[in-house]
Amino acid sequence: MEHTERLEASKSSEGRFRMLVDAVTDYAIYMLDPDGTITSWNAGAKRFKGYEESEIIGENFSRFYTDEDRKAGLPQRALDIAAGEGKYENEGWRVRKDGTKFWAYTVIDPIRDGAGTLIGFAKITRDLTERRQAEAALRQSQEQFRLLVQGVTDYAIFMLSREGFVSSWNLGAQRIKGYAPEEIIGQHFSRFYTEEDQKAGLPREALAVAARTGRVEREGWRVRKDGTKFFAHVVIDAIYNPDGSLFGFAKITRDITERRNAARALEEAREALLQSQKMEAIGHLTGGIAHDFNNLLMAIQGSLELLQRRLPGNDPKVVRLIDNAIQGTRRGAALTQRMLAFARRQELELATVDVRDVVQQMTYLLQSSLGPTVRVETSFPPELSKVTADANQLELAILNLAINGRDAMPTGGTITIGATERADVPGLKAGNYVCISVTDTGTGMNEETLQRAMEPFFTTKGVGKGTGLGLPMVHGMAEQSGGKLTLKSQLGVGTVAELYLPVAPGVPAAPVQGKETVVLSPFNKKLAILTVDDDPLVALNTSALLEELGHTVYSAPSALHALDILRQEKKIDLMITDQLMPDMTGSELASRIRAEKPHIAIILATGYAELAPGEAEGLPRLTKPFSQRELAEAIARAVRR
């Protein structure tokens, strides 16, 4: 009875196991005899391999292998290994009934009876094709990503450990920072920072911020392997494990030195443009003020001269006061000349000038102007080309630069005036230039003062001690002559002013011509003179000066009025006209008169020389403010032409 119960229980257990195996569809589970012939087949085997149980039982399991594996004896070797070692396990390609392949994971276990005799094998196969494809895709993606990261050369992309040690290195990092992978992997990334940043703890702080917030982005100076610096844009991202713990950091660095330099250059160009526009606006304003100021000085100076000759008696005190007032007008005229030079509206008489001769001729003037505490030295090469310049304005420019140097040496010092010849000066058109340098041993200037030194009305000399027009005057004269003025200075060392003027064409220097002195006796004959000026003060003053010289004067407040007078009065000998007037300029009026009445002499009187090239060509000029003597000389020259 007990034996029967045990037998039935065994059959029941075997049935349940059989049901379990048959129900498994994710694994192919079947039996082989010792020769590899299939003796059982489950639903999973049918699904994987495509054979019905009736089609495959009794067939050798080698048909599931590829032709290459069968030729290599792999099926039999698998059985031998399983029998000899107790198990065989591998992965490889297998073949379905329809000839398609799938990637299989296979386990073969030997089956033995109670005596240890091999009676067959249990074979379990799993289809891993999808997993293998996913793994292959992952490997391909990882490889592509690795190639991508390695191929980037414009960015340094590398990994850091939690402590900041470099664990990977791409070509961009090698190019930008200069380290080969074997030189830097395992080293701390802080070596890329400057010593100042390392001492300030910036590397440690960057990692701390990235770990706390997930990301940090900064710009700053970094150091290459060779010690040179570059300006970098840096991003550090924290990398976390699946459980949320910190794994390390990804660091991306880009060299933006060129971009930064370009941005700075653009900003400097923008500032230069704004400065140029400001200077141009101030130049227009200054020129206009100088024009009006000259007219006022003209009226004051002429009236004082007439008053001086008409006062009864010779009271020395009154004479001295009038002389003092006349000197004041002349100083005011000199100031307007500076303003016009800055505004580049002062007319220059350009000629061929020997710089060495100019400096030698003004040695006494320099020494007397600079005082006993200043020593003047000169340094000229044996041969020096002549320049194209206005000799008088060049002398005034050198004097201005020397006086600035003296004012920078309150306890005395040395001023050295020298010259060298240079070619193709930056900022000037191609050609040869003479650089006239005025060097002092004074206090020098800081960067801020140096940047503003040539601004009009800017001075460091204190209220009442300087107009701030000395350097702008030299600057205006230099640019009007085709050159430029530059300043170099350092606090506690001194200042070097360099005045560049173009080398004159290869002709001998013309001697400096003095003003022609005209004797009035040949012109005792009375002239009929027409004056044209829209400023009534100037018109009245000019008429009074001419009448005192004995001439008959007709006065017109505009060019149109002047044309009316000329049509009515047939005996006009000479016209003196202002340049800037409404409706018609003096040069335009002169052109009209030359066409209609060529016998009339014309003088252009102006303190604001803004004439286009060729305009008023051949017209005698009389610069405002002028004295009665200068007026008489101008009339003499004009009538003699």
CA dihedral 436, 334, 368, 410 (to 10 degrees): -80
pLDDT at 30 over 80: yes
Contact, 221 vs 208, CB < 8 A? no
User: Bigger pLDDT: 337 or 476?
Assistant: 476
Alpha-carbon distance of 353 to 362, in angstroms, equals 14
**What are the tens digits of pLDDT across the range 548-557?**
888 999 999 9
Residue indicated by tokens 């000169």:
378
Contact, 383 vs 368, CB < 8 A? no
User: Bigger pLDDT: 299 or 489?
Assistant: 489
Mean pLDDT across the chain, nearest whole number?
A: 81
Select, from the ranges 148-162, 181-195, 485-499, 577-591, the one with the highest average predicted confidence (pLDDT). 181-195
pLDDT at 275 over 80: no
Q: Across residues 224-241, what is the average pLDDT? A: 93
Alpha-carbon distance of 618 to 609, in angstroms, equals 14
Alpha-carbon distance of 468 to 365, in angstroms, equals 22
pLDDT at 547 over 50: yes
Superfamily per CATH, domain 521-640? Response regulator (3.40.50.2300)
**What are the tens digits of pLDDT across the range 344-401?**
555 567 788 899 988 888 776 677 778 888 888 988 998 899 998 888 788 878 888 8
3-state secondary structure 294-312: HHHHHHHHHHHHHHHHHCC
Position 44 confidence tier, pLDDT thresholds 50, 70, 90:
confident
* pLDDT of res. 510: 37
Q: What share of the chain has pLDDT > 70, as a percent?
A: 79
Alpha-carbon distance of 292 to 285, in angstroms, equals 11
What CATH class is the domain 152-255? alpha beta
* pLDDT of res. 195: 93
3-state secondary structure 133-185: HHHHHHHHHHHHHHHHHHHCCCEEEEEEECCCEECCCCHHHHHHHCCCHHHHC
Quote the strand ranges of 336-430, DSSP E: 351-353, 374-379, 387-389, 413-423
pLDDT at 212 over 70: yes
Q: What is the CATH number of domain 351-502?
A: 3.30.565.10
Q: What are phi and psi of 429, to 5 degrees?
A: -65, 155
* pLDDT of res. 477: 79
Select, from the ranges 36-50, 441-455, 469-483, the one with the highest average predicted confidence (pLDDT). 36-50
Of the candidate ranges 217-226, 350-359, 520-529, the one whose mean pLDDT is the lowest: 520-529
What CA–CA distances, in Å, run from 175 to 10, 182, 184, 186, 591?
75, 14, 13, 18, 71
Q: What share of the chain has pLDDT > 90, as a percent?
A: 36
pLDDT at 12 over 70: no
* pLDDT of res. 5: 53
pLDDT at 506 over 90: no
| Cα angle 379, 382, 385; round to 5 | 95
Burial class of residue 464 in the structure, from the number of CB atoms within 10 Å of its CB (0-12 exposed, 13-18 middle, 19+ buried): exposed
18 alpha-carbon distance from chain centroid = 85
Alpha-carbon distance of 532 to 586, in angstroms, equals 8
* pLDDT of res. 524: 62
Alpha-carbon distance of 5 to 8, in angstroms, equals 5
The fold for domain 15-128 equals Beta-Lactamase (3.30.450)
User: Bigger pLDDT: 614 or 305?
Assistant: 305
Alpha-carbon distance of 152 to 250, in angstroms, equals 15
Amino acid at 18: R
Nearest in space to 341 (alpha carbons), one of 393, 268, 278, 294: 393
Of the candidate ranges 43-47, 147-151, 532-536, the one whose mean pLDDT is the lowest: 147-151
* pLDDT of res. 107: 94
Identical fold for domains 266-343 and 351-502, yes or no, is no
Alpha-carbon distance of 175 to 32, in angstroms, equals 62
All structural domains of the chain with their residue ranges: 15-128, 152-255, 266-343, 351-502, 521-640
Alpha-carbon distance of 419 to 378, in angstroms, equals 9
User: Bigger pLDDT: 146 or 640?
Assistant: 640
Position 10 confidence tier, pLDDT thresholds 50, 70, 90:
very low
Position 111 confidence tier, pLDDT thresholds 50, 70, 90:
very high
User: Bigger pLDDT: 525 or 400?
Assistant: 400
Alpha-carbon distance of 485 to 483, in angstroms, equals 7
Q: What are phi and psi of 124, to 5 degrees?
A: -120, 125
Residue indicated by tokens 């090469």:
381
* pLDDT of res. 515: 35
Helix (H, G, I), strand (E, B) or coil at 546: helix
373 alpha-carbon distance from chain centroid = 44
Burial class of residue 228 in the structure, from the number of CB atoms within 10 Å of its CB (0-12 exposed, 13-18 middle, 19+ buried): exposed
**What are the tens digits of pLDDT across the range 152-180?**
678 888 999 999 999 989 888 999 999 99
Q: Across residues 212-216, what is the average pLDDT? A: 92
Structure tokens at 137: 């895709």
Largest Cα–Cα distance of the chain, in whole Å? Answer: 174
Side-chain-side CA neighbours of residue 356 (13 Å): 11
Q: Across residues 433-439, what is the average pLDDT? A: 93
Side-chain-side CA neighbours of residue 15 (13 Å): 6
Of the candidate ranges 28-42, 125-139, 575-589, the one whose mean pLDDT is the lowest: 125-139
Q: Across residues 89-99, what is the average pLDDT? A: 92
**CATH of range 266-343; options 1.10.287, 2.40.30, 1.10.3470, 1.20.1740:** 1.10.287
**Entry pTM:** 0.40
Position 511 confidence tier, pLDDT thresholds 50, 70, 90:
very low
Q: What are phi and psi of 528, to 5 degrees?
A: -95, 115
Helix (H, G, I), strand (E, B) or coil at 331: helix
Nearest in space to 474 (alpha carbons), one of 493, 448, 453: 453
Alpha-carbon distance of 575 to 527, in angstroms, equals 10
pLDDT at 311 over 80: no
* pLDDT of res. 338: 55
Residues near 579 by beta carbon (within 8 Å), at least 6 away in sequence: 585, 586, 587, 604, 605, 606, 608, 609, 610, 611, 616
Nearest in space to 65 (alpha carbons), one of 31, 35, 106, 117: 106
Nearest in space to 38 (alpha carbons), one of 53, 16, 12, 59: 59
What CA–CA distances, in Å, run from 97 to 37, 49, 56, 79, 107?
17, 6, 10, 22, 20
429 alpha-carbon distance from chain centroid = 21
Position 22 confidence tier, pLDDT thresholds 50, 70, 90:
low
Position 146 confidence tier, pLDDT thresholds 50, 70, 90:
low
Position 467 confidence tier, pLDDT thresholds 50, 70, 90:
very low
Amino acid at 411: T
Of the candidate ranges 203-207, 359-363, 536-540, 596-600, the one whose mean pLDDT is the lowest: 359-363
**What are the tens digits of pLDDT across the range 116-140?**
899 999 999 988 888 887 777 767 7
Contact, 234 vs 220, CB < 8 A? yes
Nearest in space to 207 (alpha carbons), one of 171, 174, 166, 173: 166
Nearest in space to 581 (alpha carbons), one of 605, 602, 598: 605
* pLDDT of res. 512: 36
Burial class of residue 322 in the structure, from the number of CB atoms within 10 Å of its CB (0-12 exposed, 13-18 middle, 19+ buried): middle
User: Bigger pLDDT: 296 or 221?
Assistant: 221
Q: Cβ atoms within 10 A of the Cβ of 100, count?
A: 10
